[in-house]
């Protein structure tokens, strides 16, 4: 091995050690198969592939983690709420595994610092945090098995964050709530796109919300759906005194 190869090898080893040590601080256990976790924090922009030419990024692990997380939460709610019907259980699970909540979990664990990407971290939207959290759950499941993964979810999701009474009163979609209210009261809620003049690197969408023909609120986000939800949330608090739900 020549001098340049030694330097390169040393640099790679330091990066490996840094990733491993940062991962242990988050997990509080020693991972067995580190390659799952590396994949969980590799963004598709890197365009890595394995020996068969398959993409090596967190997207498939995100899918798996979403399923495992949903199953664990569903089992918890089934046992915790013996009187709840299917619709209530489904609604409660949706609140716990909502994108907003998963983003908060990812932020609390500071997962973005582990990402391998060709983008600057500032260019990622909020959903990167939830995506990484789900991918991490997928990696834990593959590395340590379902039972261990279930314990991890209880420790890091259910015990610190899940409050049944508080969640029963939590609104999951302000837009849906307002549309339902408007239908009951014979009013008309509509959302209208308008030109976004921001200079952000990522494309943004701007939306206005009207009640009948009156402008109530505005929203702006990296997707039309999110912009409408922001406008709806602002509109909800503006109209809160007249809304019954």
126 is catalytic: no
CA distances from 212 to 173, 215, 228 (A): 20, 8, 16
In this structure, the number of other CB atoms found within 10 A of the CB of residue 33 comes to 11
First and final CA of the chain: distance in angstroms?
A: 71
Task: Find the catalytic residue in 62, 134, 143, 229.
Answer: 134
66 is catalytic: yes
Residue holding tokens 């089934």?
A: 78
Task: Find the catalytic residue in 62, 66, 150, 229.
Answer: 66
In this structure, the number of other CB atoms found within 10 A of the CB of residue 63 comes to 13
- β-strand 189-194 against 205-211: which pairing, if any? antiparallel
Contact 77, 92 (CB under 8 A): yes
Name the residues annotated as catalytic: 66, 134
């Amino acid at each position: 091995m020549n001098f340049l190869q030694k330097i390169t090898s040393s640099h790679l080893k330091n990066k490996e050690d840094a990733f491993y040590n940062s991962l242990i601080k988050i997990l509080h256990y020693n991972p067995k198969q580190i390659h799952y976790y590396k994949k969980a924090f590799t963004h598709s922009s890197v365009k890595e592939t394995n020996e068969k030419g398959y993409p090596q990024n967190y997207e498939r692990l995100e899918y798996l983690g979403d399923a495992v997380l949903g199953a664990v939460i569903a089992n918890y709610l089934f046992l915790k709420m013996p009187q709840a019907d299917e619709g209530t259980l489904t609604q409660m699970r949706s609140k716990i595994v909502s994108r907003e909540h998963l983003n908060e979990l990812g932020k609390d664990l500071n997962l973005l610092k582990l990402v391998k990407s060709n983008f600057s971290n500032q260019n990622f939207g909020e959903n990167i945090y939830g995506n990484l959290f789900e991918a991490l759950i997928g990696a834990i499941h593959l590395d340590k098995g379902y039972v261990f993964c279930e314990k991890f979810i209880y420790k890091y999701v259910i015990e610190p964050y899940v409050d049944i009474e508080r969640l029963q009163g939590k609104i999951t979609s302000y837009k849906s709530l307002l549309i339902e209210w408007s239908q009951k009261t014979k009013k008309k809620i509509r959302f209208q796109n308008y030109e976004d003049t921001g200079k952000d690197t990522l494309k943004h969408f701007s939306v206005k919300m009207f009640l009948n023909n009156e402008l109530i609120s505005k929203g702006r986000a990296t997707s039309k759906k999110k912009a409408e939800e922001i406008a709806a949330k602002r509109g909800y608090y503006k109209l809160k005194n007249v809304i019954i739900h």
